[in-house]
Structure 1
Amino acid sequence: MYLNNLAPRGRSRMVKHEQEFLNNIQSIMLSISRKLRPVLEKHLQPYGITPPQFNMMFTLEREGACRVTHLADIINVKPSAITVIMDRLIERQLVLRYHSEVDRRVVMMELSENGKQVLAKMMQSYRQIMGQYFAQFTQDELAAFLELFQKLDAVITTTKIDFEQGEK
């Protein structure tokens, strides 16, 4: 493997090219994120939706009705942060909040029918925008891109990092 010289314990003993490799990955990921954020914001503006609200709606569409705590885990935020975002979506009748029939202490969230329709419109136009970028790639490149991102997601999900052992 390319980064085999990374020491899993104590101080990292990376050679210079490995450091540059990791720096390049971080730099390009930040660059892509910075460039896509204004595209997403402009795309969402006609709907009066912010990127965090869009992400929440997208997650609810994929997950279906779910507990607030589960939603917080998925998007890696505190439940209180979800409440602020959800309150605005509930006001606009895009999301429903209710207590579980099984356990009244559990708060559930799901997209309303109106929310599903609005999200479908946003997704259709967003796919057109993103499609313009991805049209520059071959099917093989797109498949490899997806496979690598899925693998990275799985590795990040399953790998436990001990931050106490890192360099100080």
Structure 2
Amino acid sequence: MATQSPFSVLDGVFERIAQGPQPPQWLVQEAQQRLVLLINHVLMQERVATERLVPRSGRVVRVQWRQFFVALQVTPAGLFDLAAPSATPDLHFEVTETSPLGLAQSALRGERPPVRIDGAVDFASDLQWLADNLRWDIEDDMARVIGDVPAHTLASVARSAAQALRGFVRSGSARGANAVAPWSGTGPLP
């Protein structure tokens, strides 16, 4: 009995949306600024992280997925800032998974997406260390705004929902792996 993943329909929708109208440049720049603020917020929580980046001051990393990219430059304080458009990257990360659905499924499984890396190995090693050792403590940040108990409750609900979603994705992947042939779209479902 062949079963088709319920997510395969969404993949085509995501592709059409991604190929549709592009956001205005000011919106892209604003989103990139917000990303830099979030990254720096997480970096500032761990002094060892900023100390590790200080020797890399002035280096530029470009992270790209499809036509979307952001170029970040290490500041003398060991944080990141948007790099000048004319800056030559010392390191280039390109996410090779082109499907938004594939990226979402990898994230839900707790896996990192496949990445092609070109450039300075020492800089890449420092960024890998950051990716392995830094985590955003969103519960702590929420507690500063709404209090400890509501923040803990919200975080627990979010963890439970994420765990349920991961289980759903894993079970869907397992069923899809056992499938013999996909449904052709004609006639009754097998």
Q: TM-score, normalised by structure 2?
A: 0.29
Higher RCO by CA contacts (8 Å cutoff, separation 6 or greater): 2
Q: TM-score, normalised by structure 1?
A: 0.32
